[in-house]
Amino acid sequence: MANVTVHEEDVLIKDNGFDDHFHEHHHGDKYQSSFIFHYIFSMDHKIIARQFLITGMIWAIIGAAMSVVFRLQLGFPEESLTWIKPFLGKWIVVDPTTGIGKLAPEFYYALVTMHGTIIVFFVLTAGLSGTFSNLLIPLQLGARDMASPFMNMLSYWFFFLAGIIMFYSLFLSTGPFSGGWVAYPPLSALPQASSGSGTGMTLWLVSLTFFVVSVLLGGINYITTVLNLRTKGMSLWRMPLTIWAFFVTAILGLLSFPVLVSGFFMLIFDRSLGTSFFLSDIFIAGQALDRVGGSPILYQHLFWFLGHPEVYIIILPAMGIVSEVLSVHSRKPVFGYRAMVYSIMAIGFLSFIVWAHHMFMSGVNPFISNFFVVFTLIIAVPSAVKVFNWITTLYGGNLRLNTPMLFAIGFVSMFISGGLTGIFLGNSAIDIQLHDTYFVVAHFHIVMGVAAFFGMFAGVYHWYPKMYGRFMNETLGKIHFWGTIITAYAIFWPMHYLGMAGVPRRYYSFDTFDAFRHFTEMNKFITVFAIIAFFIQLVFVINFFYSIWYGKKMKTKNPWQATTLEWTTPIEPIHGNWPGKLPVVHRWAYDYNKDDREYVQQHVPLNEGEVGDH
């Protein structure tokens, strides 16, 4: 018996399943009846997941387009940008004599700031964790829906509201906020310091506060669902690694985002109510301000107390997805399941005590940095364990090198490349030279930007059949993968050399300095590949939307022959996920090729003498 047939699967759930009498009540149906409640104000986690994903994709396109515009400035500073004046208006300053249009420096900084804010928060937090936590937590745990579907809906709509406010700020006459995505005061606190620090910053703060509300509503839901709504037999040690990753991610978010909000509130007070939490000894625009006693460094502590866990909020879901995808498409159990779980926990815990490694050069006491160096570099150990375990998962497998698998392999490559440069930056002595240079830009783009995108792409290609009942096109997927991995390395690898040469990040132009202006050719190279990378992503977007309606149909419930519970639900998704009873779990999530069976799903009862856990 190589395969459990669809028929037998249903019988198993029907006979052994856990009856929660869900379908005897009709509490969910009224929300599903009309178009508005079915597709817009939906409380169904599967719809909400898709809402997060598509909203995230829209933001990703906006954020990526911004990077293309500022890369044009950096790569081709001599070229005229007059042709984008119809879109950017006064932000393209045309020299009246030569007719050459240039990006205004204020707007360059606004673009850099918005690019960071959008990608970090809207795409890689909401778009990644929001999508897959929503989709997979109930489905893989055997739950009917989230613990609170209503809060789940609110979570999306707060995110939507945050997005609307941020989008609106792009059209202000003074421009959106332009002080960097970290929004360090006093630059962010004083409208006289920068044109973007006026209304643009106010809207930035309001938008992100709503965003945090969204994250918290989502996070509480994810945690509650994981703790309370696991189906019978689904012990914590039987949960797939995806769920472990989403669970720890949600805890990180719940503990760290409120700290960010407290920082935001103090910043709002400093901006509007005349307090001095972050301000002291400031003389600006010809005036000495009546603000003393505050410390700009306090804000940095509050910001990075979120900011560092935030990078793990971004990367942990990607790690979970990759662990799952690698295992399914290798036809092997993920290697060292327990070690993987412990390393997720270790990374999650450590992420709270390393925040000041972003601040070695901020003026904090150098002695304090000793502790942060030690804790930071300890993170390398669980990270290394994860990498070795992923590689060993491939060893001796029977690999399907399809698009999700390729992206998962690409993720591991990116995570290695970007993770190793973290060892340089986490060591404070080396950080003296590399801090705030392009080395940092290369490091975090590879390790949490590109890598997280790879995890997200792996997840989208893998669970697309679960979301839309159809497959995305494989050929286009492979074009997308190869185009992305090549261009991503072509963009970010050279930046290491820029950073080692000392070129600082957030420079509008490198011509002012002898030391930084040697790299014209390299900057052109990076920009050209950034443009290509942008268009390659459009292949994905087209593939995504085309496949929703015209993709190859999913004919069996479990097209990847995976073991987890989401593949026992009907092809046509229903409210409550399972018709009739909930499946009961008898084994862990990775029984691939354990005996003569190629794979055994989690709800299949144990044979005599068989062990269900590992």
At position 441, the amino acid (one-letter code) is V
Residue 582's alpha-carbon distances to 26, 31, 221, 241, in angstroms, are 17, 21, 20, 21
Q: What angle do CA 28, 30, 31 make, to 5 degrees?
A: 70
Residues 555-584 that bind other proteins (CB under 8 A): none
Task: List binders of other proteins among 334-363 (CB under 8 A).
Answer: 335-339, 361-363
State how beta strands 283-284 and 92-94 pair: unpaired
DSSP state, 93? E
Rounded Cα–Cα distance for residues 271 and 150 (Å): 34
Question: Is there binding between residue 614 and other proteins (CB under 8 A)?
Answer: yes
Of the residues 467, 489, 520, 573, which one makes contact with other proteins according to CB under 8 A: 489
Q: Which range in 34-42, 143-151, 487-495, 601-609 contacts other proteins by CB under 8 A?
A: 487-495
Q: What is the footprint of other proteins within residues 45-84 (CB under 8 A)?
A: 83
Q: Please state the closest distance from residue 257 (CB atom) to other proteins, in A.
A: 23
Q: Does 395 bind other proteins (CB under 8 A)?
A: yes
To other proteins, the closest distance from the beta carbon of 189 in angstroms equals 9
| Residue 55: closest CA among 8, 2, 121, 148 | 121
Reduce the DSSP state of residue 269 to 3 states and report it: helix
Question: Smallest Cα–Cα separation from 530: which of 118, 58, 66?
Answer: 66
Spatial neighbors of 286 by CB under 8 A, at least 6 apart, are none
Q: Which is nearer to other proteins, 539 or 574 (CB)?
A: 539
* Phi and psi angles of residue 69, each rounded to the nearest 5 degrees, phi first: -65, -45
Which sign, positive or negative, has the C-alpha torsion 561, 539, 394, 327? negative
Could you say whether residue 206 binds other proteins (CB under 8 A)?
A: no
The minimum distance between CB 557 and other proteins, in angstroms, equals: 17
Which tokens go with 614? 């590992």
* CA atoms within 13 A of residue 133's CA, in its CB half-sphere: 37
Determine if 537 is a binding residue for other proteins (CB under 8 A). no
Stretch that binds other proteins, among 16-24, 305-313, 431-439, 570-578 (CB under 8 A): 431-439
Q: Which of 421, 537, 564, 569 binds other proteins (CB under 8 A)?
A: 421
Answer yes or no whether residue 517 interacts with other proteins by CB under 8 A: no
Is 589:601 a contact under the CB 8 Å cutoff?
A: no
Identified binder of other proteins from the candidate list 28, 77, 180, 605, rule CB under 8 A: 180
Q: How far apart are the first and last CA of the chain?
A: 23
CB 478 to other proteins: min, Å: 7
Tell me how far, at minimum, the Cβ of 338 lies from other proteins, in Å. Answer: 7
Question: Is residue 428 at the binding interface for other proteins, with CB under 8 A as the rule?
Answer: yes
How many angstroms separate the CA atoms of 315 and 238, rounded?
22
Per CB under 8 A, does 455 bind other proteins? no
Residue 397 in contact with residue 331, Cβ under 8 Å?
Answer: yes
Which one-letter DSSP state was computed for residue 591? Answer: -
Does 549 engage in binding with other proteins (CB under 8 A)? Answer: no
Which of 133, 169, 473, 601 binds other proteins (CB under 8 A)? It is: 473
Single out the segment in contact with other proteins by CB under 8 A; choices: 55-63, 130-138, 313-321, 589-597: 589-597
For 563, the token pair is 């073991």
Alpha helices, H only, 45-95 = 45-75, 85-88
Query: Could you tell me the smallest distance in angstroms from the CB atom of residue 148 to other proteins?
Result: 36
# binding residues, other proteins (CB under 8 A) = 129
One of 34, 398, 553, 556 touching other proteins (CB under 8 A) = 398
Please report, as residue ranges, which positions from 237 to 296 form the binding site for other proteins (by CB under 8 A).
Answer: 279-284, 286, 288, 292, 294-296
Measured from the CB atom, is 249 or 487 closer to other proteins?
487
Cα 566 from chain centroid (whole Å) = 22
Interacting stretch for other proteins, rule CB under 8 A, among 128-136, 192-200, 253-261, 459-467? Answer: 192-200
Q: How far is the CB of 408 from other proteins (least distance, A)?
A: 10
Q: Which two tokens stand for residue 439?
A: 């080395």
We find the least distance from the C-beta atom of residue 357 to other proteins, in angstroms, to be 12
Residue 474 makes contact with other proteins by CB under 8 A: yes
CB of residue 232 to other proteins, shortest distance in Å? 24
Q: Where are the beta strands (DSSP E) in 144-193?
A: none
| 186 contacts other proteins (rule: CB under 8 A) | yes
Nearer to other proteins, 148 or 392 (CB): 392
Residue 205 token pair? 């703060």
Q: Which stretch binds other proteins (CB under 8 A): 36-44, 148-156, 326-334, 348-356?
A: 326-334
Between CA 458 and CA 464 the distance in angstroms is: 10
545 phi, psi to nearest 5 deg: -75, -35
Residue with tokens 């935001």: 264
What type of residue sits at position 508? Y
Any contact of residue 515 with other proteins (CB under 8 A)?
Answer: yes
Which of 366, 570, 579, 580 is the binder for other proteins (CB under 8 A)? 366
Using the rule CB under 8 A, is 332 a contact of other proteins? yes
Q: Closest separation between CB of residue 51 and other proteins, Å?
A: 24
Distance from C-alpha of 375 to C-alpha of 381, rounded to nearest angstrom: 11
Which residues touch 268 (CB under 8 Å, ≥6 apart)?
205
* Under rule CB under 8 A, residue 16 binds other proteins: no
Residues 94-153 that bind other proteins (CB under 8 A): 104-106, 109
Instruction: Between 150 and 371, name the residue whose CB sits nearer to other proteins.
Output: 371
For 93, phi then psi, to 5°, come to -95, 115
Max alpha carbon distance in the chain (Å)? 87
